[in-house]
Chains A and B, each alone.
Chain A
């Protein structure tokens, strides 16, 4: 075959790949929580400008207002959170973290380990949120896809051992043009997460009063087998990376199973000599958090705080990090400023607008 023809074939295949990538992007499901934006914003941050990464589920993105901590302390602690992030994919997310940044501290959301893998559909949905947010063509993503197939297949016999759509999400989403709520415009434009990874919607100031539940520190429930295996994998991975690790159990009202699993996790972490923080009061007799949370104002629902709770949590936790970890003040660093300045104002503006809207609706 002549060289010209070979080059022609290569060019055709390359154009087809570019076309496929564009189609993948356009037909991706519109994601209200903007997980992919949060992930892509992280990837686009200037190299070596993030000092800590806070990894996990909704226990992270609804609590940690990273731009506020930056405004007040100059720390760059990015919340790389995806709702119900499966624990088996955390190592892969961490691999991406170290590919783009060189953080000194990794914080892991403890509530991820309270999850149980009892529903195949949920496992698939949660895993796809992560996989869809990762870079489309990367070895890490391929590994994560295969791992997901293995975990789901081992948990549920009827799940296929191989499903190409975990490697090529387009196979699953190519039909989204048929969905009534699909709009091509949702997938056009900037992929920047303008609130610096903080979860914010038109409903972030919703208040749902909660009742204090007793917390039993002697209750132990075994972790889900997949979760336990993942925990050790994460700990081993981070040990190799030689970074500081902190498991963070953000305030929430747990049920008995979550309490039992939380305690089991703390026990394993103590055995491994890994730090953790759970924000429960010192007497440890009941669920009163050391943060001055108002149970009648600061909760969105039982497992999550609302924006007011997030402000309080961030104030407390940023101070804690500032006192206990050596996180530099980067407010004068130009490479950081361009990515972080103005984010907190955007959050405040959004909240003010929402409150105004809510007030006028109440009148």
Chain B
């Protein structure tokens, strides 16, 4: 059941109705049944994985909790104990907890690696070595069904295990309530990622019907449909056209057109899907984390990653970035460098090491291909260098008398970031890594402005005709206008709710009409699955 389908809306309507009719005590059970019903609609085979992950991580959490509870009991039973004895006991328990934590996380990651065919990357490499030496042998590839939202619930459960291990919250006792945390249906397809201490607890709480939640949630869903159907799916043919194997015939402006289209496609697709997810959850009284904060207005790559897939960024920051930054080898190296080259150099070590690990992982999270790895490293280099060369940039702007508090400087930063992102998008979307570099080179060496301005009419032959392209243009303009208003602090839905009825309804009905008429859906289009659904 796709999030952008009528069947999903009908399903949601039924769930909402039942959810608010049943006694509040069992609202969570309604959500659990709905979540598994939703999940089952994607295929019976898929459910096996989510049940296995739920049981395994639930068991691990309970085991860690058992160690902790036992420790408390033992201390209580021991009567008067010295600090030394207490510390010793805690150490033993911490070791046990850590072992469970590490094993659980590794098993989870291993399942992810096997199912998502990461292992095949290595098997392929081994087979390449065999053929290099003309050995008549090859290892078989492992091909399993990739269940819906595997990465998302794996990351959520890993987060849960680490949090329980760190003692941030106790392990959940109720298997049903824990299963709901793992499988909550609006977010299972493409996130956002969330923590048990936040969303997990919200899911268990009773929720009274709130009209504001209903209207705001419905509006967010509508906005998500607009981004997905009017922008993402309408520009999809351009992306397919430019990034097909015939790319060598295209000049730089044609490739740039494709990259531009892809940038809006991926944003409309992913953030649109997230809006639908968050809107659906809001109707149910659940507030999911914000995943996108107008990434097109980012003024640096670091800023972009705070705005783009923010829940993954937050997860990485919490469970990878800080642990890497604070781990013993990095701090030791940082100390050495600081002593030898000064305090700024010392700061650079963790600032470089952590992004490299994070972006390498983000790269392979998308897929274990050279393109994703390269893209991860590209982002890591950009972010690390911005930290490393920050003093230099500061000196340069001062020397050149650049006022960094102006609109023009901010616009330059936004355009520069967007340009850097276009390169990143090309690396990922090109048919191969070699092709990606050739495409990037073409963008700088053979540019034809006539094409982009539509003078020769060729721009309309890239799978999207003139009328559709104008629709996309105005839709993007609307998106940017809304973005500018939000950047300036306006809370669109709050502001709208304070307007007169006629204005408010006209706007909402207008948006509905735009989606219905200009949305790319129906038999003329392939059922466009969400791009991030496959991760």
The answer to whether A and B assemble together is yes
> Which residues of A pack against B, CB within 8 Å?
1, 5, 12, 15-16, 19-20, 23, 27, 163-165, 170-172, 174-175, 177-178
Could you give, for residues 509-529 of chain B, a 1 whenever the CB lies within 8 Å of some chain A CB and a 0 otherwise? 100110011011111100000
Shortest B8–chain A CB gap in Å is 12
Shortest A90–chain B CB gap in Å is 25
Shortest B370–chain A CB gap in Å is 37
A178 engages B509 (CB within 8 Å): no
> Using Cβ atoms and an 8 Å threshold, which residues of chain A touch B524?
172, 175
B516 engages A5 (CB within 8 Å): no
A174 engages B465 (CB within 8 Å): no
> Using Cβ atoms and an 8 Å threshold, which residues of chain B touch A20?
516
- Residue of A whose beta carbon sits closest to that of B466: A178
Shortest B217–chain A CB gap in Å is 13
Taking A23-B517, A177-B467 as contacts, is the C-beta distance between A171 and B509 under 8 angstroms? Answer: no
Roughly how many angstroms separate A5 CA and B467 CA in the complex, as a whole number?
39
Shortest B346–chain A CB gap in Å is 60
> Using Cβ atoms and an 8 Å threshold, which residues of chain A touch B513?
19, 23
Contact check: which of B209, B211, B467, B512 meets A19 at CB < 8 Å? B512
Roughly how many angstroms separate A119 CA and B513 CA in the complex, as a whole number?
35
> Using Cβ atoms and an 8 Å threshold, which residues of chain B touch A165?
522-523
B465 engages A170 (CB within 8 Å): no
A-B contact pairs, 9 of them (CB 8 A): A1-B209, A15-B505, A15-B509, A16-B512, A171-B521, A174-B519, A175-B520, A175-B524, A178-B468
A16 engages B509 (CB within 8 Å): yes
Roughly how many angstroms separate A15 CA and B522 CA in the complex, as a whole number?
23
Roughly how many angstroms separate A208 CA and B241 CA in the complex, as a whole number?
47
B517 engages A174 (CB within 8 Å): yes
Roughly how many angstroms separate A165 CA and B521 CA in the complex, as a whole number?
10
> Using Cβ atoms and an 8 Å threshold, which residues of chain B touch A178?
465, 467-468
Shortest A344–chain B CB gap in Å is 41
- Residue of A whose beta carbon sits closest to that of B467: A178
* Most A-side CB within 10 Å, residue of B6, B209, B508, B522: B522
Taking A172-B524, A178-B465, A178-B468 as contacts, is the C-beta distance between A19 and B509 under 8 angstroms? Answer: yes
Shortest B469–chain A CB gap in Å is 11
17 new A-B contacts, CB < 8 A, other than A177-B517, A178-B465, A178-B468, are A1-B209, A15-B505, A16-B512, A19-B509, A19-B512, A19-B513, A20-B516, A23-B517, A163-B523, A164-B6, A165-B522, A165-B523, A171-B523, A172-B524, A174-B521, A174-B522, A177-B467
Roughly how many angstroms separate A12 CA and B511 CA in the complex, as a whole number?
13
Roughly how many angstroms separate A267 CA and B282 CA in the complex, as a whole number?
65
Roughly how many angstroms separate A178 CA and B521 CA in the complex, as a whole number?
14
Roughly how many angstroms separate A1 CA and B520 CA in the complex, as a whole number?
35
Shortest A39–chain B CB gap in Å is 23
Roughly how many angstroms separate A12 CA and B507 CA in the complex, as a whole number?
12
B:185-209 near A, CB below 8 Å: 209
- Residue of B whose beta carbon sits closest to that of A174: B517
Roughly how many angstroms separate A146 CA and B513 CA in the complex, as a whole number?
26
A170 engages B516 (CB within 8 Å): yes
A172 engages B523 (CB within 8 Å): yes
> Using Cβ atoms and an 8 Å threshold, which residues of chain B touch A171?
521-523
> Using Cβ atoms and an 8 Å threshold, which residues of chain B touch A27?
517
- Residue of A whose beta carbon sits closest to that of B501: A8
Shortest B169–chain A CB gap in Å is 34
Shortest A168–chain B CB gap in Å is 8
> Using Cβ atoms and an 8 Å threshold, which residues of chain B touch A172?
522-524
Roughly how many angstroms separate A15 CA and B508 CA in the complex, as a whole number?
11
B516 engages A1 (CB within 8 Å): no
> Using Cβ atoms and an 8 Å threshold, which residues of chain A touch B508?
12
Roughly how many angstroms separate A12 CA and B222 CA in the complex, as a whole number?
14
Roughly how many angstroms separate A16 CA and B512 CA in the complex, as a whole number?
8
Roughly how many angstroms separate A16 CA and B515 CA in the complex, as a whole number?
13
Taking A163-B523, A174-B517, A177-B517 as contacts, is the C-beta distance between A5 and B211 under 8 angstroms? Answer: yes
B:482-535 near A, CB below 8 Å: 505, 508-509, 512-513, 516-517, 519-524
Shortest B236–chain A CB gap in Å is 14
Roughly how many angstroms separate A16 CA and B524 CA in the complex, as a whole number?
24
Shortest A96–chain B CB gap in Å is 25
> Using Cβ atoms and an 8 Å threshold, which residues of chain B touch A5?
211
- Residue of B whose beta carbon sits closest to that of A164: B6
Roughly how many angstroms separate A27 CA and B518 CA in the complex, as a whole number?
11
Shortest A177–chain B CB gap in Å is 7
- Residue of B whose beta carbon sits closest to that of A162: B7
> Using Cβ atoms and an 8 Å threshold, which residues of chain A touch B517?
23, 27, 174, 177
Roughly how many angstroms separate A186 CA and B479 CA in the complex, as a whole number?
33
B516 engages A23 (CB within 8 Å): yes
Contact check: which of A12, A15, A174 meets B516 at CB < 8 Å? A174
Shortest B285–chain A CB gap in Å is 14
A1 engages B522 (CB within 8 Å): no
B522 engages A175 (CB within 8 Å): yes
> Using Cβ atoms and an 8 Å threshold, which residues of chain B touch A174?
516-517, 519, 521-522
Shortest A31–chain B CB gap in Å is 18
> Using Cβ atoms and an 8 Å threshold, which residues of chain A touch B509?
15-16, 19
Shortest A15–chain B CB gap in Å is 6
Closest 7 CB pairs of A and B: A171-B522, A178-B467, A172-B523, A165-B523, A172-B522, A174-B517, A5-B211
Shortest B120–chain A CB gap in Å is 31
* Most B-side CB within 10 Å, residue of A1, A172, A178: A178
Roughly how many angstroms separate A172 CA and B522 CA in the complex, as a whole number?
5
Roughly how many angstroms separate A12 CA and B513 CA in the complex, as a whole number?
13
> Using Cβ atoms and an 8 Å threshold, which residues of chain A touch B516?
20, 23, 170, 174
Roughly how many angstroms separate A43 CA and B211 CA in the complex, as a whole number?
42
Roughly how many angstroms separate A171 CA and B209 CA in the complex, as a whole number?
32
Roughly how many angstroms separate A348 CA and B254 CA in the complex, as a whole number?
58
Roughly how many angstroms separate A19 CA and B209 CA in the complex, as a whole number?
28
Could you give, for residues 46-81 of chain B, a 1 whenever the CB lies within 8 Å of some chain A CB and a 0 otherwise? 000000000000000000000000000000000000
Roughly how many angstroms separate A15 CA and B501 CA in the complex, as a whole number?
13
> Using Cβ atoms and an 8 Å threshold, which residues of chain A touch B521?
171, 174
Roughly how many angstroms separate A37 CA and B519 CA in the complex, as a whole number?
28
> Using Cβ atoms and an 8 Å threshold, which residues of chain A touch B468?
178
